[in-house]
Amino acid sequence: MKFMHFTSGYFICIFYSVYSYNVTDEDRLYRDLFNNYNKELRAGNDRDYPLNVSMQFYLLAIKEFVEASSKFTINGVFYTHWRDERLSWVPAKYNNITKTLVSQDKVWIPNIVNINPFKEVYGLGSNLVQVNVDNEGSCFWVTMQSFEVVCDADVTYYPFDKQFCALRFVAYTVGVDWLNIYFPNSKVTLTSYEESGLWEVEDTTNYSHTEEGTTFVVVGLHLKRRSTYYIASLLLPMTVVAILQAFVFLLPNDAGERVGFSVTVLLASVVFLTIIQGKLPEASEPNISVLGFLLFGYVILGALVTLCVILSANIHSFKEDTCMPKWLKILCCLKTIDAKGPFSTNIVMNVEPQKEAKEKECRSWSWKDVAKRFDMFCFISSLFLYVLQIIIYFGLAT
């Protein structure tokens, strides 16, 4: 048994020693390949047909999306493949070498440039990237980069919005008769993607298309915002603060803090509006955020509540001998007469006594009673308007 193990190990060592190569062999291969190689010439022996270049994008992470500045940053990898017959060799001549690594600045590579950069125009790869070349001349170019591009956000339904952001590239200085770029898979590969805490990737796409003889490459991401954080930290607090302002009418007029309370809550709504404006882009297209309109409605309604509080305080401060306006007397004296039908005899019989009782009641009212009735009317109306605004917003946004 020991002899058999020894024999097996011996033959394995012989087998690997026969097919192994050293740095001298690879150095000789390198010198032979690039002896007369011109990287300025496009790969492909048949110049009558465009060179086929296969691409695939692997998304690694979404770094940030700043809606106010339209800056979208992601980490990803482009896997690019083509064939350059000038880089093929016979493995037997080089101790069975079947593949090697070459710096990208030593070989011809597709000149693909980003056309929607956030700052400066840039291409794929760098001098640190190497191209994997096999003995048949197949080149595998793997470029990992951090891409900063411009993505105009549509914040109409913020924070329940969905966005589409894309990396856009062009095969610079090369026409479709020279280069045919295609994607074997129409979807971005997400096998190595690290989930974002803010954005959910709903769908992806990558494709190439031709415009005026030029090939464009597009990698697109359909994103949906995770809105739980915004509901808990923004929508609920500002809604509670806004609704709280309606309860100012339940405070007694004699307390003297009603105006200060309403102004303070109004300022809180303005602060929320300022926070939202700092997060959203300064643009009117395609639409202004519905959340901005909601906060604007809160501010306007808050201003009206403050005016009503001031008016109620003035009514409450009137002296009892001050003459009550005629319209207010009419408003006080209006009362619906209960009846079984439009021809009920109870109406005729009870009109005069009810009018006399109502006029007597109006004469007995004081300005403080009028202020209380006015406060209750304003409380119910403002509360209804706040709730109505919230229902309309969520109906539109979700």
pLDDT tens readout for residues 113-159: 999 999 888 888 887 888 999 999 999 999 999 999 999 888 888 88
Q: Which domain holds residue 303?
A: 229-320+366-397
Torsion region of 335: left, alpha or beta (phi above 0 gives left; psi -120 to 50 gives alpha): beta
Our CA dihedral for 330, 333, 336, 341, rounded to 10 degrees, sits at -90
Do both 221 and 291 map to the same domain? no
Residue 64 lies in a domain: yes
Domain boundary among 171, 195, 226: 226
- Which of 211, 226, 241 is the last residue in one of the domains? 226
Domain count, the chain: 2
CA–CA separation, 291 and 276 (whole Å)? 8
pLDDT at 57: 95
Most confident of the ranges 73-82, 152-161, 329-338: 73-82
249-299 tens-digit pLDDT: 887 877 667 778 888 888 888 887 787 777 766 666 667 788 878 888 888
Report residue 192: phi and psi, to 5°. -110, 15
- Largest separation between any pair of C-alpha atoms in the chain: 128
Of 124, 169, 127, nearest to 144 by C-alpha is: 124
Q: How many CB atoms lie within 10 A of CB 347?
A: 15
Same domain, 199 and 239: no
157/15 same-domain check: yes
What's the mean per-residue pLDDT of the chain? 80
End position of a domain, from candidates 226, 248, 273 = 226
Alpha helices in 281-366 (DSSP H): 290-317, 326-333, 345-364
Residue type, position 35, single letter: N
Q: Is 226 exposed, middle or buried (0-12, 13-18, 19+ CB in 10 A)?
A: middle
| Alpha carbon distances (Å) from 381 to 95, 243, 247 | 90, 12, 11
Report the predicted TM-score, pTM, of the whole model to 2 decimal places. Answer: 0.72
Q: How far apart are CA 56 and CA 20, in angstroms?
A: 33
In a domain? residue 55: yes
**Tokens encoding 107:** 């070989």
**d(Cα 204, Cα 160) in Å, to the nearest integer?**
19
Same domain, 198 and 234: no
Task: Give the number of C-alpha atoms closer than 13 A to the C-alpha of residue 312, restricted to the C-beta side.
Answer: 29
pLDDT tens, position by position, 355-395: 555 555 555 567 777 778 888 888 898 889 988 988 888 88
Backbone angles phi, psi at 254, to 5 degrees: -70, -15
Instruction: Check if the beta carbon of residue 277 is closer than 8 Å to that of residue 269.
Output: no
The string of pLDDT tens digits covering residues 80-110 is: 999 999 999 999 989 889 999 998 889 999 8
